Structure 1
Amino acid sequence: MPSLLDGATGELMPLDAYYADFEAHFWHSADLGFWKMERQQTFQEPGYDSWEAFARGDWEESLRLLEAGRPDMAEYHRKAERRGFVPRRIRVVQEPLSAYMWWELHALRIREECGGPVHVIDVDKVAEYEVDGPLPEIYTLGSRVMYEAVYDARGVLEAARKYVDPDLIVRCQAFIEELFRAGEPLSGWFDQHVAHLPPPPAQI
């Protein structure tokens, strides 16, 4: 969406450098908070035990592993609160849900229950912003840093772009917040659209 990123290309960072940079900035996001927009409907997350269990078709183990991570997730959000901010996410959803989304929405529900508000918005409600292509996968850390996730053809994270233009970051943060406010809290949406679904098919 050129009108959102305004032609900016950012600094392409390999994963190791990106992870270190993100960690250095995340805990200093109090001025505007952390806002994340997720648009793609299918990803792969090799190395994440719950995703790997889901991908091989072991749904019960996948859910068990998500629950096992609840204490760490809760502490993560308590630490953010102590640092003066609440991480928030808006998740674009398209029905029928992809198998990945069946799994991710379970993960996001636990995140929300642990103190990280998640709203969902139907893909039709963002169509007006996608004339030139899907919305980017971006997240703002306060007013000083923004990242755009870069994925390979399989949907595996391969790099990130870092943006530091304050005007761009503030504009993108406001856009993400606008979508968040237009969306629905995940908790109620999950009960209506996800809770009744059977286990998704294996992915590998």
Structure 2
Amino acid sequence: MFEHFPGDHPERLARPAYHEDFRRHYESGIDSLRKLERGQNFKERGFASWEAFADGDWERAVDLVEEKREIYSRQFRKAERLGIEGRRLRVVEFPITPYVQWEFFALRLRVELGDNIRVMDARGIADAERRRPVPEVVILGDVVLYEVVYDEDGNADGARRFTDPALIAETSAGFDELYERGEEFGRFFDREIAPLAPPSLTR
């Protein structure tokens, strides 16, 4: 699984170029989007809910997630119009980090609106991570694969783009295998996230 990732000669895209390239391929007639998320600590500057979370205001952070409802709804309406099936797999380490605890409230809204998200306990994929963690990737159909890049502070910093069909097929197969092994989002949320006390975190 993911034996040949990352392959050779990716094209490095800065964040604006990545967003433009993603949009172009997303609207090109693909039929699927696969997203594998592995990191446990990121920054989401500009997302009001995350800003409140980073400031230590947990109640406000949870409440502000609702501001994304219409944005997410538009995304899913667009995907339906384009005939794109989206699947997301979120790998979670224990103990759960404050960031992941916060993120799951945003993901819960996405699931409510129709996103297909499953969760994988990182302890359950030790077999796939003997050499390196599973990759943080977005795969659009069988056309393009992006390895999402973050800077040392956890800020999104663009992506590496791969177009080798064999690498895309292998990585997609690895994703599909893990997705089938993943746990239903709501069950995981109710058992592991909902009972947690508010995290203690300030900038």
Inter-partner Cα distance in structure 1 for 2:12 and 2:25: 17
Q: Is the 1:41–1:93 contact (alpha carbons within 8 Å) kept by the matching residues of 2?
A: yes
Q: Does 1:122 align with 2:124?
A: no
Call closer, same or farther: CA 1:9–1:98 in 2, change over 3 Å. farther
Percent identity among equivalent residues?
41
Query: How far off its partner does 1:6 sit?
Result: 5.3
State the SS of the aligned residue for 1:5.
coil
Q: Does 1:25 align with 2:2?
A: no
Inter-partner Cα distance in structure 1 for 2:29 and 2:104: 25
Q: Does 1:14 align with 2:2?
A: no
Bigger mean CA offset, 179-188 vs 5-14: 5-14
Inter-partner Cα distance in structure 2 for 1:18 and 1:88: 20
1:104 equivalent in structure 2: 103
Alignment of 1:1-204 (within 5 A): 3-5=3-5, 7-28=7-28, 30-31=30-31, 33-204=32-203
Q: Is the 1:28–1:141 contact (alpha carbons within 8 Å) kept by the matching residues of 2?
A: no
Root-mean-square deviation (Å): 1.6
Query: How far off its partner does 1:28 sit?
Result: 3.5
Call closer, same or farther: CA 1:30–1:103 in 2, change over 3 Å. same
Inter-partner Cα distance in structure 1 for 2:199 and 2:29: 36
Inter-partner Cα distance in structure 1 for 2:119 and 2:191: 12
Call closer, same or farther: CA 1:165–1:112 in 2, change over 3 Å. same
- Gaps (5+ residues) in structure 1? none
Inter-partner Cα distance in structure 1 for 2:29 and 2:147: 16
Inter-partner Cα distance in structure 2 for 1:6 and 1:156: 21
State the SS of the aligned residue for 1:136.
coil
Inter-partner Cα distance in structure 2 for 1:44 and 1:120: 20
Inter-partner Cα distance in structure 2 for 1:100 and 1:117: 21
Q: Is the 1:28–1:142 contact (alpha carbons within 8 Å) kept by the matching residues of 2?
A: no
Segments of 4+ moved more than 4 angstroms: none
Q: Is the 2:30–2:141 contact (alpha carbons within 8 Å) kept by the matching residues of 1?
A: yes
Call closer, same or farther: CA 1:58–1:6 in 2, change over 3 Å. closer
TM-score (norm 2): 0.94
Inter-partner Cα distance in structure 2 for 1:28 and 1:117: 22
Call closer, same or farther: CA 1:35–1:2 in 2, change over 3 Å. closer
State the SS of the aligned residue for 2:18.
helix
Residues 120-142 of structure 1, C-alpha deviation per residue, up to 9 Å, x if partnerless? 01101111111122111011011
